Amino acid sequence: MKLYIVPTPIGNLEDITLRALKVLQSVDFIYCEDTRTTKNLLAHYQIEKRCFACHIHNEHQQLATMLSHIRQADSVALASDAGTPAISDPGFLLIRECVAQGIEVECLPGATAFVPALVASGLPCHSFYFHGFLPHKKGKESALRNLSERTETVVFYESPHRLLKTLEMMLPLFGADRPLCISREISKIHEEHFRGCLQEAQRFFSEKTAVKGEFVVVVQGAGR
């Protein structure tokens, strides 16, 4: 009776460990964010395995059922569409409850978007604060104000249709000259990194006709 947390590629399908493939092949079944996405990954590596959905819309309602199924199995894997489950993805509730009920939980090391974005940014990464996604509306300005005061490097995720508005909100809080790096499509064909100051980033993305892909924003800490 064991739950494996299995990170999956965030872009290039080759960004998966041999151990992760071995676990996916050996478990009784897989809980995943989107069964179609996970089955595409499994098909690429010629793995046949039953997949069941575990996402933000059913995680609360199906928690008891999922725990019952795990208790009846030798081992089960939990995967999200891309990256590591529970890092700005579903999975936390199931993991917490497994730990609380004495079910063994083992998390494999692997892909997550913010680490390569942070390292590639050129900004200090010996100490950093990871925020995940910002609030969509209520509390967003307050969250940004708190982030602007942190002295360590700040990392957060943002969606393409909110990026420009977020940069505009950041200007009076962080200051136009605050260095940052904005990365998109990590590990994919069109991977890009914008490096410069906040004002330059706001100008650059305001002039783009289309902003696509998921973004990782890395901002230098206050007072550096």
Do 59 and 78 fall within a single domain? yes
Do the domain assignments include residue 224? no
Q: Which of 5, 168, 143 is nearest to 84 (CA)?
A: 5
For the chain, how many structural domains are there in total? 2
Residue 6, number of CB atoms within 10 A of its CB: 27
| Total residues found in the chain within this entry | 224
Do the domain assignments include residue 99? yes
Do 102 and 175 fall within a single domain? no
- 224 residues of the chain, pLDDT tens digit each: 899 999 999 989 999 999 999 999 999 999 999 999 999 999 999 999 999 998 877 778 888 999 999 999 999 999 999 999 999 888 999 999 999 999 999 999 998 999 999 999 999 999 999 999 999 888 999 999 999 999 999 999 999 999 999 999 999 999 999 999 999 999 998 899 999 999 999 999 998 877 778 899 999 999 86
Do the domain assignments include residue 88? yes
Q: What is the pTM of this model?
A: 0.90
Sheet holding 51-53, edge to edge: 51-53, 29-32, 76-79, 2-5, 104-107
Domain boundary among 65, 82, 107: 107
Domain boundary among 79, 107, 135: 107
Structure tokens at 122: 């050129």
Question: Can you give the residue range of the structural domain that contains 78?
Answer: 2-107
Do 171 and 100 fall within a single domain? no
